[in-house]
Amino acid sequence: MAPRVPPPGRFRQAKIAAPPNTPLPGWLRDRILHLDAELLVLDKPAGLPLSARQGETLEGWLPALRLGKKRLPQPAHRLDTDTAGCLALGRTAPMLARLNALFAARQVGKTYWAVVRGDPGAESGLVEAPLAKVSSAARGWRMQVDAKGDPARSAWRVLGRGGGLSWLELAPETGRTHQLRVHCAHLGCPIVGDSLYGGGEAGGLHLLARGLTLPLEPALHFEAPVPAHMRAAMAGCGG
């Protein structure tokens, strides 16, 4: 089963007993894309869940990410466990509230890169396919296209092709669970490494939260580097 991810801004501080001076490991420090008095932006590694009942999580590292603050930084949005890339955290209550409002109003610019199997057959397009959650004893829970589901829209364009794969830039206009993974599969081009939606298991999920634009004053833009497990496939597509 996928780990339960709490709603934005809802990490339970009382259950984290680590002291404010918890050491920050080098691998995590190297993933800080931006740090100021109110805002922290991380390059979240693939495979690290935001929260889970057991195992290593980002929630467990929040004390180390205080970096002098009394308050824990808290994510203002979500990334799937297996998705790498830009994650914004508020370091103060006012900034967290501001970020939550911007994400809720869909005013944040979000750009993803994915390597998919196959070719979408055009240079760009828009997937408009509502999504609903389903579950079964055999497969657990997953999302699927369903006319009665929640509205979901994803813009896409091809950045490169090669070896039976395509490199896509994706811009979700809504933020449904597993939206880009399901929409790519709906295009007939599942994301490489996506065992749940048809992209195969080898090499990890080839999905990166590449860019994040926050309409603050001034506006801020961040980009996450391509993770190691995606580099070969992207190079084969001209990346």
Which range, of 7-21, 72-86, 225-239, averages the lowest pLDDT?
A: 7-21
Q: Nearest-CA neighbor of 16 among 50, 59, 58? A: 59
**Domains defined along the chain, listed by start:** 1-105 (3.30.70.580), 112-207 (3.30.2350.10)
Residue 33 CA: distances (Å) to CA of 50, 139, 200, 213: 18, 37, 31, 13
| Residues 166, 191 contacting (CB under 8 angstroms) | no
Catalytic-labelled residue, pool 36, 43, 80, 146: 80
| Residues 3, 53 contacting (CB under 8 angstroms) | yes
**Residue 10 vs residue 233, higher pLDDT:** 233
Q: Are strands 32-35 and 39-44 parallel, antiparallel or unpaired?
A: antiparallel
Q: Are strands 165-172 and 153-162 parallel, antiparallel or unpaired?
A: antiparallel
Q: Which pLDDT belongs to residue 138?
A: 74
- Amino acid in the structure at residue 41: V
Write out pLDDT tens, residues 51-93: 987 788 999 999 999 999 999 999 999 999 999 999 999 999 9
Write out pLDDT tens, residues 180-230: 999 999 999 999 999 999 977 767 999 999 999 999 999 999 999 999 999
Query: What's the maximum distance between 2 C-alpha atoms anywhere in the chain?
Result: 53
Backbone phi, psi, residue 41, to 5°: -125, 125
Torsion of CA 12, 15, 20, 22, to 10 degrees: -110
DSSP 110-125: EEEEEEEES--SSSEE
Residue 160 CA: distances (Å) to CA of 121, 193, 226: 12, 18, 15
- Amino acid in the structure at residue 170: L
- pTM for the whole structure: 0.88
Q: Please, which residues have CB within 8 angstroms of residue 15's CB and are 6 or more apart in sequence?
A: none
Active site residue 150: no
**Does the pLDDT of residue 14 top 50, yes or no?**
no
